[in-house]
């Protein structure tokens, strides 16, 4: 299986890169690697026909790109060259196996990201991680929807969750998540290939974590509400601060009360509770 790397140059890079990422994520791009001048976006070669960048134009920034084909077998080497540890305050360090241990934080998660989104580099993943540290998770059942690398499921278990389930539509992400869960000492985390329809077969959750994108989240909210226990909480991320009100209204229609919103730069996450 081959992937295509789209290398974007963006001027100005902020917030242009973040806006452009949010737009192309809906085309099927799975991973993003940010740089000072833009970012690289990776997509399964089989999904190339879903890409239509000709429709995208913006008043506040310009962009150009080149395309490179990357064989799957070269992915680890690419990450070893570019992947740096991510530190979330003094609480968490997300690093690869080839990085040194960080003894200055309370928790470490070691992942080999491969083709999966969720290394902690993106603002939305960090926002979700920070909120988990502020949430009572002891003995809770947690769903990591669109799990990517399973970083959120792993962190939930580290913070005392009773059980966790990760679901992703991408076979590569499922394989990667299973490896990461085992290497971090949580082989009991269930990882399943599929979409939101799997939730109808699962017992109710105390906490659902969904870091995807706005349009997918909107379509999933009814299923999330149905899968939550009474007083269960839903964390949503993968969208801009300007999208919060739209998602809040959509969630309210499904019996989900808005609790709080948190942001980093232009990106946001929301906490909802089932009434």
- 51-60: long-range contacts at Cβ-Cβ below 8 A with a sequence spacing of 24 or more? 51/6, 51/24, 51/27, 52/27, 53/24, 56/20, 56/23, 56/24, 58/16, 58/19, 58/20, 60/16, 60/19
pLDDT at position 33 over 80: no
Are residues 61 and 137 both part of a single domain? Answer: no
pLDDT mean over 151-158: 97
Are residues 160 and 228 both part of a single domain? Answer: yes
Cβ pair 28, 50 in contact under 8 A = yes
pLDDT mean over 125-153: 94
pLDDT tens sequence across 12-23 = 888 888 888 878
Q: Can you give the pLDDT at residue 88?
A: 87
Range(s) of the domain holding residue 143? 116-274
What's the CATH number where 21 sits?
3.30.70
- Residues ≥6 apart with Cβ < 8 Å to 166: 143, 144, 147, 150, 153, 174, 177, 181, 189, 190, 191, 192
Mean of the per-residue pLDDT values of the chain: 87
pLDDT tens sequence across 95-111 = 888 788 999 999 999 98
Q: Can you give the pLDDT at residue 159?
A: 97
Can you read off the two tokens belonging to residue 245?
Answer: 């009100």
What's the CATH number where 151 sits?
3.40.50.150
Are residues 128 and 197 both part of a single domain? Answer: yes
DSSP state of 46: G
Are residues 53 and 147 both part of a single domain? Answer: no
What is the distance between the alpha carbons of residues 266 and 243, in angstroms, rounded to a whole number?
10
Are residues 142 and 257 both part of a single domain? Answer: yes
What torsion do the CA atoms of 58, 64, 70, 76 make, to the nearest 10 degrees? -70
Are residues 10 and 133 both part of a single domain? Answer: no
pLDDT at position 78 over 80: no
110 lies in some domain: no
97 lies in some domain: no
Q: Can you give the pLDDT at residue 19?
A: 84
Q: Please report how the helices 151-158 and 171-183 are oriented relative to each other, as an axis angle in degrees rounded to 10.
A: 30
Question: Residue 195 CB: number of other CB atoms within 10 A?
Answer: 15
Q: Which of 85-89, 177-181, 220-224, 268-272 has the lowest mean pLDDT?
A: 85-89
What is the distance between the alpha carbons of residues 3 and 46, in angstroms, rounded to a whole number?
8
Can you read off the two tokens belonging to residue 250?
Answer: 């959509």
Residue 5: exposure state from Cβ atoms within 10 A (0-12, 13-18, ≥19): middle
Which of 75, 100, 127 finishes a domain?
Answer: 75
Can you read off the two tokens belonging to residue 260?
Answer: 């709080």
Task: Select from 250, 219, 241 the least CA-distant residue to 260.
Answer: 241
DSSP state of 29: -
Q: Which of 26-35, 97-106, 148-157 has the lowest mean pLDDT?
A: 26-35
Are residues 166 and 62 both part of a single domain? Answer: no
What is the distance between the alpha carbons of residues 18 and 261, in angstroms, rounded to a whole number?
19
Name the more confident of 56 and 209: 209
């Amino acid at each position: 299986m081959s992937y295509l790397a789209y290398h974007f140059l963006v001027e100005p890079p902020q917030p242009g890169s973040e806006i452009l990422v949010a737009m192309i994520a809906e085309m099927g791009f799975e991973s993003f690697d940010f740089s000072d001048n833009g970012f690289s976006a990776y997509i399964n070669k089989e999904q190339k026909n879903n890409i239509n960048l000709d429709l995208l134009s913006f008043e506040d920034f310009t962009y150009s790109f080149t395309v490179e084909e990357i064989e799957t077998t070269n992915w680890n080497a690419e990450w070893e060259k570019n992947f740096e540890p991510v530190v979330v305050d003094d609480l968490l360090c997300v690093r690869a196996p080839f990085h040194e241990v960080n003894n200055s934080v309370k928790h470490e998660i070691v992942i080999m990201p491969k083709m999966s989104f969720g290394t902690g580099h993106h603002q939305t993943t960090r926002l979700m991680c920070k909120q988990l540290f502020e949430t009572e998770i002891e003995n809770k059942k947690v769903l990591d929807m669109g799990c990517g690398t399973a970083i959120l499921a792993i962190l939930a278990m580290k913070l005392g969750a009773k059980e966790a389930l990760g679901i992703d539509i991408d076979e590569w992400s499922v394989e990667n998540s299973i490896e990461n869960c085992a290497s971090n000492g949580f082989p009991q985390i269930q990882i399943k290939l599929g979409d939101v329809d799997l939730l109808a077969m699962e017992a109710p959750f105390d906490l659902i974590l969904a870091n995807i994108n706005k349009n997918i989240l909107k379509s999933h909210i009814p299923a999330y509400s149905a899968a939550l226990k009474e007083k269960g909480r839903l964390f949503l991320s993968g969208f801009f601060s300007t999208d919060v009100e739209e998602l809040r209204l959509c969630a309210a229609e499904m019996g989900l009360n808005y609790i709080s919103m948190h942001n980093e730069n232009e990106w946001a996450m929301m906490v909802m509770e089932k009434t």
